[in-house]
Structure 1
């Protein structure tokens, strides 16, 4: 076997070229390669048994999994696993290109099957300077003279994720599953392999099973159940592997076993999970969705730090993520979709007084009364705004803020007159009928007339209403796709999603300084197909500020802090600690201020002003900082929550306490962290500049003191009230 070894940005990659001229991905890790790791468990797989070793390698370690209809898959796969694909196992090595560009190193690998399917496969690997991440894309080209039906194409496939170290997977392997959902965003859970059905049950023999850990999304809400994020770690070898799927629709990844090893396969839509397939006529090609894959120590915090740096590299440059302006939005725990001129004017005054820089009129501005099933034309309601909405947007500008409005352009309500008169090909169709969801139709962005319609709306609100900010919401799930103009409903959905991205690119080309917020009932489309374009992401519609702390602390696992918009909504009947807690939810991310500010008493309104003023002194650090969780990521059941951002010489740390039903200290006590109902001791060892003389200060609020002490690299806080939060700054001590 001939080895090709690549070491780039701390990623050790090893390819093997077999005697059959097939290329195998043998190693992708922070650790260096040891060929004895390929075949070492069990009496059937001793490293010195070269025949068996070659058979292991022949049957597994495919660089690309590509499956076409109508071809045998002879090797062991058990069940619905996306391994041993055909012609994946037939592909032979056809060459490699190794070059550099302004981003970093780029490797392209070519494989082909000249005997049966006559397809060619290109694998592009783009490295990024300064981070241990490579972006992977696979492309299949039909070079034969007959049509081929593509049923599956991986973006990344790697066998041997557990192979470093002497112990078996039960003892050393951990996986984190990033659950996501409406008002339950960013709930990340850690499991042993055995907890998810992947226990070693035949450790001494040829291990294989039908059990698969599947993390999938099917539909247009890309993160309605999970974030498109994966993370596995090896606690013995102290390594981790992580990936991010950059797609705004259906996607899938799976972890299972093959030939005594565990593998991971990552992809966009699939036939089994997503009702997707694609016919490739002679000369046609298909490209997988991009996947970013990285390596790190066995530390979720370090992995997310690498992803944060990478996300900033792939994002569209924009002023919003440079300046981090403060946004007021009238919806959450405020007007709740019932705006009028009379209601807006005092809120505008209060928002300006507090230091907000954008003011967004949320849902309801386009229709009187109940508007849910009639949306789609986006014309101002004179019942709500007797002198027109421009009177209000002009007033917002007079107060020194930039106005914004809410839109949901991808849908039309079933009682929208324009929807009634539009042809069916404007919409998703299945079984010959328009697709319904929550009294809405899904527009099909492949249709040029639909693009003309949505462009008219964008141009009107920008030019006629003077809008500089759009909250782009999306509140339906149209399901598996559309049958119009596509071989499969999943392919119809995929083509629509690509068309939507192209439309976004055109909008930003016309209006480069327009800020468009990505909102999907909160955080149900947190993906970097969209977030490489949008500058800001709604993280949740969570209405209980106490529970928002979990989302706020964990948000930087899914999105960069400067893109993560978090609601702060002081309650009319609350107290000072409630205001402080609300403000700290947002202060290390992007402030989405709301609440009835005009009705707050002066001492509570002063805390909002102080929070926004403090934010403006630290926001230029936020856009460079990376996340850290000194007591691990937050859980919804935790009484204490802790999360922060760190830079080279300083760090910020938010600490929350919520003494309420369902919250406890059990997890931390099991982990050996000292905590009671009134105090929490926070180890700060992961901060790189940690020193005994590190300066620790409470920067918000200044006039509501709290007891704390820093000793022996541990910050201990004492919160006496049931619900409290404080924001700390940690500075490198004087040398």
Structure 2
């Protein structure tokens, strides 16, 4: 039964404060959430009605206010009334639930706030239940809603708020940009704006153009709000003004943004896409540090992220999808020689020639492997490495022999036709026959071939979704997304030691629905090692360093400095070694071996270190780029000089200012061309790189602590 009367609900957990008010009429307002104490006087009485806990729009219902294209002022969202709230302890931490009900439609809602012990982060989602007697149509439901984002501090939002966004694209992943709200077109000129700053993704590449996350910094209050949408499909978030306050809405798919609509029959339920929300005292680096800790705490426990073993993959600037026994054996020998632990045969192993539109059976090519693919895989194992294969399980080529066993129910359908993208059909993992097919492929690779590593690629985008057995195109896509995650969970349960790399034309599916399950992420298909430096340096804001796989591919025609640059790209992240190692000169191969030895010595710090950017987040126009990891009193600092005329740069390390420390060149050791000096008074690391397009890895150790031996 609903509890009647006015009340205040206050939560204080892990340095976070949440304040809810319930009016006499049962209207619930979320007045405050964050890492600073609530200051009552910052919200006037009239504005409080705009501090909504939840927005939900049903078909046939009205909209209130002047809302533009935003999702605010929804019905029955504005009619929802308090029923009850509860607190309980789960394995993660405090779980707070808030139940509300709309008497007109019978819609019942539960808002979930899952806290995580020791972290200033909560996970939020919404469950809808049709407790009425009539069918309901859902057009939008928020996973998280918060108003008053700029209420801390005396200044206006136009002056003190800074939004950090990660643009994403093929071979141009993780391009962070920081802007004020007016620079993005949202000026504080009215108490409720029809203009919004919004990002949406439509389709099955969750990071097709932007990463599903954002950070909003209050430079006056010294705090940063961050959010991460944990979904592998369509999503949306928006910033707008509501009752003279800055408001955030975060959700999965909706009708007018993604073609999603959900029918709820009496008694049926629907759960929204989860979103992680957190706060940090400080700016971008402090927020990413807290998000990194959360990502580690909520990720599937696995040995791969403990050991950080080195992977060799034969594709990038190497075999380019042309593996054969003859081509592979020298590479296998060379990879074992320099210290790799996994050897992954990339695409092409299943076809003698052009294969793009014929994939789907995943049987090895006899022409490529006359002795059988097991001969090569056993050879890899005999060299002390774990064999791996490339796979793209979610697609089937339009000329695949496997099509003879399939019908339309296997595939995404729109307007009565199978959806094609780049000469492939998209498999629908809601179909048990598709799941059985995928199960059999994985069983064969793991149990018959002895594969211990799979590079799971995904090179098409499913678009709006599928009409088959769904209430809408977007509903079909969402349910497929969830079915695929369930399948992956079962595969990891069946083969707990199996490493599955998450790849999608590089980083097009870099999201934490996938990365809470997969231990490693392909960050890019970038073929130019100089361009890769900026992607590598930016990536630890998108995922944990130990999950960020960076290609290192020394070129046949390069020199020593090119090898060093390639290796520095990967040394503070996850080494994805490639290139024609067998054809490198002995001194250049020795530089690879030295780098991997350094990596093995420091990878225990990588898996626990937190990222920082002494020169700020990299941009394509920068002449110098730097990124580091800190753990205890040790800081590892990668530095790249690109096309800058200056041979020296000063790197601020504020946490060490005024402290005695020692710096040294960690890689390559004993080589001229670069050096470092620590200036304690200025709190700066002075670095020198004599040539353009060179890189070095430095170590700075605070006096009294222990660095790398």
* Bucket of the pairwise TM-score, normalised by the shorter protein: over 0.9
Q: What does residue 719 of structure 1 align with? A: 689
**CA distance, structure 2, for counterparts of residue 649 and residue 718 of structure 1:** 23
CA contact (8 A) 2:47 2:244 kept: no
2:32 pairs with 1:20: no
**CA distance, structure 1, for counterparts of residue 304 and residue 84 of structure 2:** 43
In the TM superposition, structure 1's runs of 4+ consecutive aligned residues that sit over 4 Å from their partners are none
CA contact (8 A) 2:312 2:576 kept: yes
Of 41, 46, 66, which aligns to 2:56? 66
Aligned-residue offset at 1:255 = 0.5
Q: What does residue 515 of structure 1 align with? A: 499
CA contact (8 A) 1:518 1:538 kept: yes
Aligned-residue offset at 1:5 = 2.2
- Say which SS state the counterpart of residue 301 (structure 2) adopts: coil
1:518-597 correspondence runs (5 A):
518-597=502-581
CA contact (8 A) 1:107 1:124 kept: yes
Aligned-residue offset at 1:699 = 0.8
1:458-473 correspondence runs (5 A):
458-473=442-457
Q: What does residue 163 of structure 1 align with? A: 151
**CA distance, structure 1, for counterparts of residue 172 and residue 43 of structure 2:** 40
CA contact (8 A) 2:665 2:675 kept: no
CA contact (8 A) 1:30 1:240 kept: no
- Say which SS state the counterpart of residue 130 (structure 1) adopts: coil
Of 91, 95, 99, which aligns to 1:106? 95
**CA distance, structure 1, for counterparts of residue 95 and residue 192 of structure 2:** 35
**CA distance, structure 1, for counterparts of residue 704 and residue 542 of structure 2:** 35
Q: What does residue 366 of structure 1 align with? A: 350
Q: What does residue 677 of structure 1 align with? A: 646
**CA distance, structure 2, for counterparts of residue 246 and residue 654 of structure 1:** 30
Q: What does residue 707 of structure 1 align with? A: 675
- Say which SS state the counterpart of residue 181 (structure 1) adopts: coil
Aligned-residue offset at 1:691 = 4.6
Cα displacement string for residues 535-555 of structure 1 (whole angstroms, at most 9, x for unaligned residues): 110000011111111111111
Cα displacement string for residues 621-680 of structure 1 (whole angstroms, at most 9, x for unaligned residues): 111111111221111221111111111221211111111xxxx6xxxxxxxxxxx62111
- Say which SS state the counterpart of residue 392 (structure 1) adopts: helix
- Say which SS state the counterpart of residue 142 (structure 2) adopts: strand
**CA distance, structure 1, for counterparts of residue 53 and residue 178 of structure 2:** 28
Of 6, 9, 17, which aligns to 1:4? 9
Aligned-residue offset at 1:690 = 5.0
2:47 pairs with 1:56: yes
- Say which SS state the counterpart of residue 598 (structure 1) adopts: helix
1:162-241 correspondence runs (5 A):
162-202=150-190, 207-241=191-225
**How many residues are paired up?**
697
Aligned-residue offset at 1:78 = 2.4
2:481 pairs with 1:484: no
Q: What does residue 700 of structure 2 align with? A: 730
Aligned-residue offset at 1:718 = 1.1
**CA distance, structure 1, for counterparts of residue 114 and residue 271 of structure 2:** 15
Q: What does residue 3 of structure 2 align with? A: none
Q: What does residue 41 of structure 2 align with? A: 36
- Say which SS state the counterpart of residue 710 (structure 1) adopts: strand
CA contact (8 A) 1:691 1:733 kept: no
**CA distance, structure 2, for counterparts of residue 14 and residue 172 of structure 1:** 23
Of 139, 160, 171, which aligns to 1:151? 139
Aligned-residue offset at 1:73 = 2.1
Cα displacement string for residues 600-625 of structure 1 (whole angstroms, at most 9, x for unaligned residues): 01111000000001000011111111
CA contact (8 A) 1:134 1:293 kept: yes
2:115 pairs with 1:127: yes
- Say which SS state the counterpart of residue 222 (structure 1) adopts: coil
CA contact (8 A) 1:233 1:240 kept: yes
Aligned-residue offset at 1:439 = 0.4
Q: Which moved more, 1:590-599 or 1:649-658?
A: 649-658
Aligned-residue offset at 1:420 = 4.7
Cα displacement string for residues 107-155 of structure 1 (whole angstroms, at most 9, x for unaligned residues): 11111112x1111111111111121100111101110000100111111
Aligned-residue offset at 1:197 = 1.1
**CA distance, structure 1, for counterparts of residue 93 and residue 469 of structure 2:** 39
- Say which SS state the counterpart of residue 474 (structure 2) adopts: helix
Aligned-residue offset at 1:56 = 2.4
Of 224, 227, 235, which aligns to 1:251? 235
Q: What does residue 92 of structure 1 align with? A: 81
Aligned-residue offset at 1:298 = 3.8
Of 596, 602, 609, which aligns to 2:586? 602
CA contact (8 A) 2:659 2:702 kept: no
**CA distance, structure 2, for counterparts of residue 283 and residue 15 of structure 1:** 28
CA contact (8 A) 2:545 2:573 kept: yes
Q: Which moved more, 1:346-355 or 1:233-242?
A: 233-242
- Structure 2 length as normaliser, TM-score? 0.97
CA contact (8 A) 1:642 1:653 kept: yes
Aligned-residue offset at 1:271 = 0.7
Of 298, 315, 329, which aligns to 2:299? 315
Cα displacement string for residues 481-514 of structure 1 (whole angstroms, at most 9, x for unaligned residues): 0000001010000111111011101111110000
Q: Which runs of 5+ in 2 are unaligned?
A: 1-5
Cα displacement string for residues 292-339 of structure 1 (whole angstroms, at most 9, x for unaligned residues): 000012411111111111111111111111110000000000000011
Cα displacement string for residues 258-279 of structure 1 (whole angstroms, at most 9, x for unaligned residues): 1111111000111111100100
**CA distance, structure 2, for counterparts of residue 484 and residue 37 of structure 1:** 50
Q: What does residue 44 of structure 1 align with? A: none
CA contact (8 A) 2:546 2:574 kept: yes
CA contact (8 A) 2:664 2:676 kept: no
**CA distance, structure 2, for counterparts of residue 200 and residue 159 of structure 1:** 15
**CA distance, structure 2, for counterparts of residue 402 and residue 533 of structure 1:** 20
**CA distance, structure 2, for counterparts of residue 37 and residue 240 of structure 1:** 18
**CA distance, structure 1, for counterparts of residue 404 and residue 250 of structure 2:** 41
CA contact (8 A) 2:629 2:636 kept: yes
1:267-666 correspondence runs (5 A):
267-659=251-643
- Structure 1 length as normaliser, TM-score? 0.93
CA contact (8 A) 1:690 1:732 kept: no
